Amino acid sequence: MQTIRTRVKDNRVRRSGFTLMEVLLVLAILVVIMGLVLPNLIGASKKGYIRAARVTIGGVESACEMYAMDHDGEFPNSLDALISNPGSSNKWKGPYLKDSSSAPSDPWGMPLQYSYPGQRHATPDRPDIWSSGPDKQSNTDDDINNWTKA
């Protein structure tokens, strides 16, 4: 009996590589995993851009407040006044925005919008600062701004 078992083992054909069914199974598993992971990665990227826009708006708002402290409570008429002296004002102690040669833009490459005096800010005599958001169009639901919605 010992010799018969040995022959059976010796007569088997050894195959190397994967069968078509094994390859298809691995591909199906990869597709399912990518289907679960990819939407979360895309959503995380969008959320990151929105957070970056909020941080940028907050930085611009802080720069406007520093400008207002130097100008007896008056906010600038435009964002350009934060970068260079808009006239012959001897009160100007800027630039108030560092590392910028032009008005700041949002993560989507669009310039930030600025309005003073603001019409939407809850506090009177404050500037409205906003980004058009991912759709790059103002006055839509995805706008990112420095005022609270009513």
The CATH code of the domain that includes 135 is 3.30.700.10
**Does any domain span residue 12?**
no
pLDDT at residue 107 tops 60: yes
105 domain-assigned:
yes
- Whether 23 maps to a domain, the answer reads no
User: Would you state the structure tokens that stand for residue 83, as one six-digit string?
Assistant: 């970068």
1: in domain: no
Our count of domains for the chain comes to 1
Answer whether residue 142 is part of any domain. yes
Q: Is residue 148 part of a domain?
A: yes
Q: Is residue 127 in a domain? A: yes
pLDDT at 29: 95
> Binning pLDDT at 50, 70 and 90, where does residue 10 land?
low
Question: Which amino acid is residue 122, in one-letter code?
Answer: A
Rounded to whole angstroms, how far apart are CA atoms 145 and 150? 13
Range of the domain at 62: 46-150
Q: Give this prediction's pTM.
A: 0.69
